[in-house]
Chain A
Amino acid sequence: MALSRLNCFSSRSANLLKTLSSAISLRRPISTDTTPIIVETSVPFTSHQCEAPSRSVETNPKELLTFFRDMALMRRMEIAADSLYKAKLIRGFCHLYDGQEAVAVGMEAAITKKDCIITAYRDHCTFVARGGTLLEVFAELMGRQAGCSRGKGGSMHFYKKDSNFYGGHGIVGAQVPLGCGLAFAQKYSKDENVSFALYGDGAANQGQLFEALNISALWDLPAILVCENNHYGMGTAEWRAAKSPAYYKRGDYVPGLKVDGMDALAVKQACKFAKEHALKNGPIILEMDTYRYHGHSMSDPGSTYRTRDEISGVRQERDPIERIRKLILSHDLATEKDLKDIEKEVRKEVDDAIAQAKESPMPEPSELFTNVYVKGLGVESFGADRKEVRATLP
């Protein structure tokens, strides 16, 4: 009896402690707690020509909550872009990244803003992860002046020079030699940073990729090639496009690592490992096994070449945000309500950004001719013929 009362008492105090701690965490929505937590990745890494890193990833509550918030923001942003496209405010091409957020977020957690990232056209979330604001994203998508490229780039041309985000490229595979060029410049300036060149499973069959890989391996460049394998190159499944869909092995003499791209912590571990490796031994290939819920772009329903069951299956079992949510809840870092509040906050942030972006004006007509050439040469551009020559060079 006394024992049970004791138990009752201790359980009540435990409950009290629990509510107390949750109350405390309520007051600090993003926990500033950095006590390390060790988490195991969902699946072990498979490696090619190198030693795989350990499955145990060190993280902390602050990081996990940041992951959750960032990924929720990205997810919300992409869904909002979907509706804007259907409302004809965004035109042309719009390639959405929902489902793949863990790659952007996990990579960012492993590196600094001095490391370079370059990617292809599915770049909205990578841009945000590098520090781009929502206003810049939506304004650029809608072609307004407040956009990151002043409305002149569009969905496929997001760039952020001050945080070393080099875009944003429309032609499949062309960004990989550029990325190796970034790594070359880093080696040239001897600044101990690395470059991540992201590409998809479709681009993995481009010749220029292997050319660039050869040169990077020859010259020992700190280049990390990351294949975001979402298993479909537009409408073509990977097994129909590649004789060997083991993209991490395709480097042959270049080591490779296969990573579960829906697990942000696995991505973080792999990128950290890759950075250390690249600085010492030259290029390495990372294959992120990920998935996109939307079609290739807004004009692709995404269901003609894959079943709805497949899509919903992945969403149920491997969704990156759900994984982090479960982690947070199981480690008691926040309550369900906290996380719902974060999502509501994020939704409001996105809506505000859209409203603000809608108010931004369209570019001036004179903007048509700016930035064709670098100013300061005193040259205006009116096509191949200029009426006056007014140029001085340094």
Chain B
Amino acid sequence: MAAIFQGAGAAAALLSSPSNSIDSKKFLFSPRRSFYVRKGASFGVVRSDGSVNLDLNPKGRRAQQLIANAVATKADSSTASSSSKSGHELLLFEALGEGLEEEMERDPRVCVMGEDVGHYGGSYKVTKGLATKFGDLRVLDTPIAENSFTGMGIGAAMTGLRPVVEGMNMGFLLLAFNQISNNCGMLHYTSGGQFTIPIVIRGPGGVGRQLGAEHSQRLESYFQSIPGIQMVACSTPYNAKGLMKAAIRSENPVILFEHVLLYNLKERIPDEDYICNLEEAELVRPGEDITILTYSRMRYHVMQAAKTLVNKGYDPEVIDIRSLKPFDLYTIGNSVKKTHRVLIVEECMRTGGIGASLTAAITENFHDYLDAPVMCLSSQDVPTPYAGTLEEWTVVQPAQIVTAVEQLCQ
């Protein structure tokens, strides 16, 4: 945890340095074509330290205007900075819980199913307090039977309910793979459009602190080929709440990947109702030299590396892709067209991971704009070992990111 906060602090220091002015007005008036800039929650990281950038509020209202031009965004930012709503501070797991609670209040069809989500309050406290508030029929403690309760959630979704199924650890959802692949993903298609499956499947995954091989799995690589589902990965309290709400409201089945190590991130988020677009990537740090694409926990490793890189004189553009299926090739493409170099940093395995698909997508679509081959840094293709040092070497570390950037930018 300390490392991450350190990274956040570093990012804060980084962002407020004059060499890359994050003055909203400046980069919105970028003379290049209609480069659509999304203000990312990296400013959230900054904000938690106190440096002010209040232009985050328009994000929710902006869900309606996606292909905004500079003027529109500017207007938003000016109104936002004039409003003195400062929001409230909370941790990522609380943000998820808040999003879930608001959606359950808003729509009586939303229910939560999972192991220990009710009376226990959730193994990561995401669903704390919901059972006392909404009752046993809406917050359901299931027995340890992933295959069947995921199937039951899908069956209930076919009739119009909107269940949120929690896997206590993403790895356990492998037991429900059949239900997720065949029934969740495909029923809308095989029924010729008769049934929609507005289910949300969520849970923590990723490499934690010495949890062992079976509890450190990254399932996004296994699920990515299932047609019909959408996958998103949250990384900050702001986008966690926004993505949770958007996923619940979406008519498509959505798998929301959380990360075990990010649950205690603190951030100030707006008071008002907002959602994050499920298919949008987030610009964490604008830059000119190289595009670094990342998601979930690796975002913080990248931002830590970015601090070192800036000191060495590089100007990386960091994008948190957030939407793992489908990729936001619009944002990514615009970035590639600007920087001409791409580095992907992910926590998935090298073989068949999200990075592999993203590399293929970028090469296919933006080959002409690339000055160097796409480089992908992923976890090693090994079961995650228990020993701390070994575990550290399984995932990508900031030093490796720095080396990779230097290599690409030669």
Interface residues in A81-123 (C-beta closer than 8 Å to B): 116, 118
A188 contacts across to B, CB distance below 8 A: 111, 137, 156, 161
B302 in the interface (beta carbon within 8 A): no
* Option from B145, B251, B326 in Cβ contact (under 8 Å) with A215: B145
B118 to chain A, nearest CB (A): 12
B34 in the interface (beta carbon within 8 A): no
Contact A178-B357, Cβ < 8 Å, known A372-B227, A372-B228, A387-B329: no
Question: Which of chain B's residues has its CB closest to A214's CB?
Answer: B143
Cβ contact within 8 Å between B192 and A150:
yes
Cβ contact within 8 Å between A384 and B327:
yes
Interface residues in B173-197 (C-beta closer than 8 Å to A): 178-179, 182-183, 187-196
B156 contacts across to A, CB distance below 8 A: 181-182, 184-185, 188
What's the Cα separation between A392 and B111 when bound, in Å? 23
B277 contacts across to A, CB distance below 8 A: 389, 391, 393
Interface residues in A151-188 (C-beta closer than 8 Å to B): 151-154, 157, 159-161, 166-171, 174, 176-182, 184-188
B154 contacts across to A, CB distance below 8 A: 177-178, 181
A242 contacts across to B, CB distance below 8 A: none
* Option from B66, B155, B357 in Cβ contact (under 8 Å) with A182: B155
A390 contacts across to B, CB distance below 8 A: 66-67
Cβ contact within 8 Å between A372 and B188:
yes
A373 contacts across to B, CB distance below 8 A: 188, 228, 230, 252
B335 in the interface (beta carbon within 8 A): no
Cβ contact within 8 Å between B227 and A385:
no
Cβ contact within 8 Å between B63 and A157:
no
A376 in the interface (beta carbon within 8 A): yes
What's the Cα separation between A311 and B126 when bound, in Å? 58
Contact A185-B155, Cβ < 8 Å, known A373-B228, A387-B330: yes
A298 in the interface (beta carbon within 8 A): no
A159 contacts across to B, CB distance below 8 A: 190-192, 194-195
Cβ contact within 8 Å between B155 and A386:
no
B318 in the interface (beta carbon within 8 A): no
Question: Which of chain A's residues has its CB closest to B181's CB?
Answer: A171
A168, A170, A211, A372: most-surrounded residue (chain B CB, <10 A): A211
Cβ contact within 8 Å between B193 and A371:
yes
* Option from B151, B193, B252 in Cβ contact (under 8 Å) with A174: B151
Report the contact-size class of chain A (Cβ under 8 Å from the partner).
35 or more
B407 contacts across to A, CB distance below 8 A: none
A60 contacts across to B, CB distance below 8 A: none
What's the Cα separation between A384 and B364 when bound, in Å? 13
B331 in the interface (beta carbon within 8 A): yes
Cβ contact within 8 Å between B191 and A218:
no
Cβ contact within 8 Å between B149 and A215:
yes
Cβ contact within 8 Å between B330 and A389:
yes
What's the Cα separation between A371 and B192 when bound, in Å? 7
- 1/0 per residue, CB under 8 A from B, across A209-242: the answer is 0011011001100000000000000000000000
- 1/0 per residue, CB under 8 A from A, across B141-178: the answer is 01101011111111111111100000000000000001
Question: Which of chain A's residues has its CB closest to B354's CB?
Answer: A384
Cβ contact within 8 Å between A218 and B66:
no
Main secondary structure of the interface of A (DSSP, over half): loop
B380 in the interface (beta carbon within 8 A): no
* Option from B155, B190, B196, B275 in Cβ contact (under 8 Å) with A157: B190
- 1/0 per residue, CB under 8 A from A, across B381-393: the answer is 0000000000000
B195 contacts across to A, CB distance below 8 A: 159, 161, 166
Question: Which of chain A's residues has its CB closest to B331's CB?
Answer: A389
What's the Cα separation between A181 and B187 when bound, in Å? 15
Count residues on chain B whose CB falls below 8 Å from chain A CBs: 66
Question: Which of chain A's residues has its CB closest to B189's CB?
Answer: A371
* Option from A150, A167, A384 in Cβ contact (under 8 Å) with B357: A384
What's the Cα separation between A374 and B150 when bound, in Å? 20
Cβ contact within 8 Å between A150 and B155:
no
Cβ contact within 8 Å between B178 and A174:
yes
Contact A376-B191, Cβ < 8 Å, known A182-B159, A211-B148, A385-B326: no
Contact A391-B279, Cβ < 8 Å, known A178-B158, A184-B156, A385-B365: yes
Cβ contact within 8 Å between A177 and B330:
no
A392 to chain B, nearest CB (A): 6
B189 contacts across to A, CB distance below 8 A: 152, 371-372
B191, B327, B330: most-surrounded residue (chain A CB, <10 A): B191
B361 in the interface (beta carbon within 8 A): yes
B400 in the interface (beta carbon within 8 A): no
A121 to chain B, nearest CB (A): 12
Cβ contact within 8 Å between B250 and A377:
yes
Cβ contact within 8 Å between B143 and A215:
yes
A149 in the interface (beta carbon within 8 A): yes
* Option from A151, A211, A385 in Cβ contact (under 8 Å) with B143: A211
B94 to chain A, nearest CB (A): 23
What's the Cα separation between A264 and B343 when bound, in Å? 67
What's the Cα separation between A176 and B249 when bound, in Å? 27
What's the Cα separation between A372 and B225 when bound, in Å? 13
B145, B151, B161, B325: most-surrounded residue (chain A CB, <10 A): B151
Cβ contact within 8 Å between B155 and A166:
yes
A148 contacts across to B, CB distance below 8 A: 192
What's the Cα separation between A250 and B63 when bound, in Å? 52
B194 contacts across to A, CB distance below 8 A: 149, 159-161
A394 in the interface (beta carbon within 8 A): yes
A295 in the interface (beta carbon within 8 A): no
User: Which 4 residue pairs across A and B have the least CB separation, nearest first?
Assistant: A181-B155, A177-B151, A181-B152, A178-B155
| A–B Cβ pairs within 8 angstroms, 25 of them | A159-B194, A161-B195, A166-B155, A169-B182, A171-B182, A177-B148, A177-B150, A177-B151, A177-B179, A180-B155, A181-B151, A182-B155, A184-B156, A185-B160, A208-B147, A215-B143, A215-B145, A371-B189, A372-B188, A372-B227, A385-B327, A386-B329, A389-B330, A392-B63, A392-B66
On B, residues with C-beta under 8 Å from A are 63-64, 66-67, 111, 137, 140, 142-143, 145, 147-161, 178-179, 182-183, 187-196, 224-225, 227-228, 230, 246, 249-252, 275, 277-280, 325-331, 333, 357, 361, 364-365
| Given A159-B194, A376-B251: 17 more A-B contacts, CB < 8 Å | A147-B192, A149-B190, A149-B194, A166-B155, A167-B191, A176-B148, A177-B147, A177-B152, A181-B154, A181-B157, A371-B192, A384-B225, A385-B326, A385-B329, A389-B280, A393-B246, A393-B250
